[in-house]
Chain A
């Protein structure tokens, strides 16, 4: 019996340890993941639009009111229609289900779910309707209006500008847009946020990631010479460069290039060779370190997951992946994040859109701060890639984005899409200036070459940023 009693005591310790484990893990998981769970789109409870609440205002980073409410609780928008249209995708509208907009995502603050008990009591005693909290976004409305003015009429596309040191989203535009005051006249598909929800092939902008993979896996990448022979046979597919017209017998051929030159000239041939040499696993690993195939559960924004294809990897597919085609699907925001990572010494910051939430009486309800999302590159690799991206703008395909006296870096892309006559024009880039740390991505769908269509838009955006430093 003595032995039995001793064993019973030992068993008791184990059983208590199980309970302690449960409590400890519970505390850990709720404290680490609690915010993510709360912000996820599946949280419909937090987003229930309550009746009898006057929703809080939505402001931009300088305090410009983007959405207010009248005494009845109905939404009132600013008078300037250009402002309304430019910020509609960031602000949102209750007429549509816009998951990535402030109206939906921060409904917990705007509709008074975060009111404390004494505040509610106060309102009840006074017999007033609850007032929701005001939400101040990171969006710069002036920038958004400017970009909306630049974008070519009638074309679909998106533009994202972020601060690469903190991850704050300065501008998130999607075209076509609509006027929240006149939702009946909204064109079809205009409520979709093409900056975060539309996944398309990135075109040559993906070469940033292919180049990163080459740096990671090839020891001699800086000195090697690659040969571009015009056409490359990879499996059953043929890799060609821009400007090649087989029917007319014109074949673009670059000859012998270093990695830097191939990057700046955006040579598909060489990047396809690199992809085949590295192999699918290595390329995929680098892509995943940049966030492909990851489940984005940002606290703050809803971004569709980018995918690097995992099945059907024939030789031809792998080769085209290196050049940015095949079944890659990525959102403009994510490519902007990739450029931001290069700019920020290899550290990709998590994108966020809300600066703070303040109570109706002016106090702070919640303040937010930046967070690191991933570290895909080392500082040395990032500085080498920065150089490459600088060369694109100084002497490569992106010269239309150059501004004299300013270090502009970028990468163009012209993504071929099935069913479209013209390619999607991509440009991702950043300013390598210490007091203007901005990265952007501009996509114009069905418009032509990235260097000719999107790069000039980027130049104008950069000039505005240099002038105005929001």
Chain B
């Protein structure tokens, strides 16, 4: 057997890809059998093909880390599956978002891979972020108590998700240039703008990200301590200033008292999880997805998608999904440790922190570990901007990984050539 063929056979990427394709083929087929819709049958063929393209073909075109791609593809496709189960139109929308997101991911990878000097870009991005974040204040619409969406034609956009990426890049650059004060200033300005928009969930995210990156870059616990104290103070101030913070805290303490109003979501999510048990009630059999059956979780597609997964697929599968997120984070940290430049290392660790904090905040809110916030679950929650921004973060990670690999390849090539060949 030729070397290439045998190498391909042992390639762990193939095993994972095959498993992934099988999973979604079976999943969509099951849903199609239930509904009898031809779109579903089509999806059961298309989604595995997309996974194949994403995991086998895409890495040949641009530098990519296959492990990261596999895990990410699986999570995104899982999101499409469960959203399709809840509402077919949403599922198809999510598939489109996924496609757009993958395109943006490729762009971000190329950006990080080939851009040499980040100075001008950083300045541009800082200015642009301030502008983008002030847009909702000027022309935004209010939704669920927070004024952080803007409508362009018939598409809704969340500028804070885009600025999240800019924040990641800018803070990485500033910290790698040892301009910690400037980065704190920039972060603070973004936070203030977000507080004005009452988007407290994303503010929490930004705050956590800046804190983590500050510690990674400076290593000074004093700074982190000061940051935590400042955050606690801001939280206390926010409690007094915002009515819906008080309401959310009250619901967090005893949701059973408020089952008629805002506590309904979380109580229903508890019930759905309890019904699911270890193995789930079965795909297509549950009632948690706000379908026509009684007892569904309202607005499940945004914040409560994870309890729906726990309900239909079971607790064991939920743990598996969580561990996949953990693996993505671990991989990001490995990439960070392997990079040679401070900027790229900080970028990777910032990406890891973003994914962790987002996942932690939303799932902890679902199981009542912390009060609910307005953050979405990366890759799985419904939403174009959310999907695109999460995939862009993965794109950044891929860019750094490919940089690392290019460096190692160069070194190896030089070693093989025996130094500088005349």
Binding site for B on A (CB under 8 A): 1, 3-12, 14-16, 18-19, 21-23, 25-26, 29-30, 33-35, 37-38, 40, 42-46, 48, 295, 297
Residue in contact with B342 in the complex, picked from A4, A14, A45, CB distance below 8 Å: A4
Q: Is the CB of B356 within 8 A of A295?
A: no
Is B295 touching A7 in the complex (CB atoms < 8 A)?
A: no
Q: List chain B residues, Cβ under 8 A from A37.
A: 270-271, 273-274
Question: Is B226 part of the contact surface with A, judged by Cβ < 8 Å?
Answer: no
Q: Does B232 contact A (CB under 8 A)?
A: no
Measured CA separation A19–B320 after assembly (Å): 12
Asked if B333 is at the interface (CB within 8 A of a chain A CB), the reply is yes
CB-defined A-B contacts under 8 Å, sample of 7: A1-B345, A7-B217, A15-B356, A21-B369, A23-B319, A30-B315, A45-B271
Residues of the B chain whose Cβ atoms lie less than 8 Å from the Cβ of A29: 367-369
Known contacts A4-B216, A42-B295, A43-B271; is-contact A16 B368 (Cβ 8 Å): no
A34 to B256, CA, bound (A): 14
B207: Cβ under 8 A from any A Cβ: no
Q: How far is the CA of A461 from the CA of B347 in the complex (A)?
A: 77
Nearest-neighbour CB distance to chain B for A232, whole angstroms, equals 36
Chain B interfacial residues counted at CB < 8 A:
51
- Specify which of B268, B273, B330, B342 is in contact with A42 (CB 8 Å cutoff): B268
- Beta-carbon contact of B333 and A295 below 8 Å: no
Contact across chains for B326 and A19 when beta carbons are under 8 A apart: yes
Is B41 part of the binding interface, using a Cβ–Cβ cutoff of 8 Å?
Answer: no
A23 to B257, CA, bound (A): 26
**Closest chain B CB from A177 CB (angstroms):** 29
A contacts with B: majority SS:
helix
Contacting residues, chain B, for A16 (C-beta < 8 A) = 326, 329-330
Contact A3 B219 (CB under 8 A): yes
Whether the Cβ atoms of B367 and A8 lie closer than 8 Å is: no
Which B residues touch A40, using CB under 8 A?
A: 256, 267, 271
Contact call B275/A8, Cβ cutoff below 8 A = no
Which of chain A's residues have a CB closer than 8 A to the CB of B257? 295
| Residues on the A chain within 8 Å of B272, using CB | 45
Cβ–Cβ contact A43 & B219, under 8 A: no
Verify A295–B295 contact, CB threshold 8 A.
no
Q: How far is the CB of A97 from chain B (nearest CB, A)?
A: 13
Chain A residues with CB under 8 Å of B352's CB are: 11-12, 15
A37 to B216, alpha carbons, bound, how many Å? 41
Question: Is the CB of B105 closer than 8 A to any CB of chain A?
Answer: no
A23 pairs with B322, CB closer than 8 A: yes
Is B239 in contact with chain A by the CB < 8 A criterion?
no
B216 touches A8 (CB 8 A): yes
Q: Is B90 an interface residue (CB 8 A)?
A: no
B275 with A45: CB separation less than 8 A: yes
Q: Is B259 among interface residues, defined by CB-CB distance under 8 A? A: yes
Taking CB atoms, residues of chain A closer than 8 Å to B216 are: 4, 7-8, 11
Residues of A within 8 A of B359 (CB): 19
**A35 vs B274: C-alpha distance when bound (angstroms):** 7
User: B256 touching A295 by the CB < 8 A rule?
Assistant: yes
Given A19-B322, A19-B356, A295-B257, also A43-B369 (CB < 8 A)? no
Instruction: Write the nearest CB–CB distance from A166 to chain B, whole angstroms.
Output: 25
Minimum CB–CB distance from A17 to chain B (whole Å) comes to: 10
Please, what's the 1-or-0 string for B244-287, where 1 marks a CB less than 8 Å from any CB in chain A?
00000000001011010000000110111111000001000011
Q: How many angstroms from the CA of A21 to the CA of B359 in the assembled complex? A: 12
B349 surroundings in chain A (CB, below 8 A): 8, 11-12
**B274 and A11 contacting across the interface, CB-CB below 8 Å:** no
Contact residues in B for A1 (Cβ distance below 8 Å): 340, 342, 345
Contact (Cβ within 8 A) A7 B219: yes
Residue contact A44 to B294, C-beta cutoff 8 Å: yes
B225 to chain A, nearest CB (A): 14
Assess the A34–B274 pair: CB atoms within 8 A: yes
Residues of chain B within 8 A of A46, CB atoms compared = 275
Report the minimal beta-carbon distance from A111 to chain B, rounded to whole angstroms. Answer: 14
Q: A25–B369 Cα gap in the complex (Å)?
A: 7
Tell which of A7, A11, A26, A38 touches B271, judged by Cβ atoms closer than 8 Å.
A38
Q: Nearest chain-B residue to A15 (Cβ)?
A: B356
Q: How far is the CA of A40 from the CA of B255 in the complex (A)?
A: 13
Interface string of B326-358 (1 = CB under 8 A from A): 100110010011001010011001001100110
How many angstroms between the C-alpha atoms of A3 and B329 in the bound complex?
20
Q: Which of B271, B286, B326 is the most central at the interface, judged by chain A CB atoms within 10 Å of its CB?
A: B271
Chain B contacts with A in 353-378, Cβ cutoff 8 A: 353, 356-357, 359-360, 363-364, 367-369
Please name the 8 residue pairs, one residue from A and one from B, whose CB atoms are nearest each other, closest first.
Answer: A37-B274, A44-B295, A38-B274, A12-B333, A15-B356, A37-B270, A44-B294, A43-B271
A18 with B295: CB separation less than 8 A: no
CA distance A44 to B264 in the complex (A): 13
Knowing A4-B342, A37-B274, say if A9 contacts B337 (CB, 8 Å): yes
Beyond contacts A3-B219, A42-B271, A45-B271: 20 other A-B pairs, Cβ-Cβ < 8 A, are A8-B216, A8-B333, A8-B345, A10-B215, A12-B329, A15-B212, A16-B329, A22-B363, A23-B322, A25-B364, A29-B367, A29-B368, A29-B369, A30-B273, A37-B271, A40-B271, A43-B274, A45-B272, A45-B287, A295-B254
Candidate in A21, A35, A45 with the most chain B CB atoms within 10 angstroms:
A45
Bound CA–CA A23/B367 (angstroms):
11
Q: Does B325 contact A (CB under 8 A)?
A: yes
Which of B216, B256, B345 has the most CB atoms of chain A within a 10 A radius of its CB?
B216
- How far is B256's CA from A4's CA once the two chains are assembled, in angstroms? 47
Asked if residues B356 and A18 are in contact (CB atoms below 8 Å), the reply is: yes
State how many angstroms separate the Cβ of A296 from the closest Cβ of chain B.
Answer: 10
For A19, the chain B residues whose CB sits under 8 A away are 322, 325-326, 329, 356, 359-360
Decide: A45 and B337 in contact? CB cutoff 8 A: no
Contact residues in B for A22 (Cβ distance below 8 Å): 322, 360, 363-364, 369
Contacts of A33 in B (CB 8 A): 270
Complex CA–CA separation, A1 to B356 (angstroms): 23
Most buried by A among B272, B325, B356: B356
* Complex alpha-carbon distance, A179 and B212, angstroms: 68
In angstroms, Cα B348 to Cα A5, docked, is 12
Central interface residue in A3, A15, A38, by most chain B CB within 10 Å:
A15
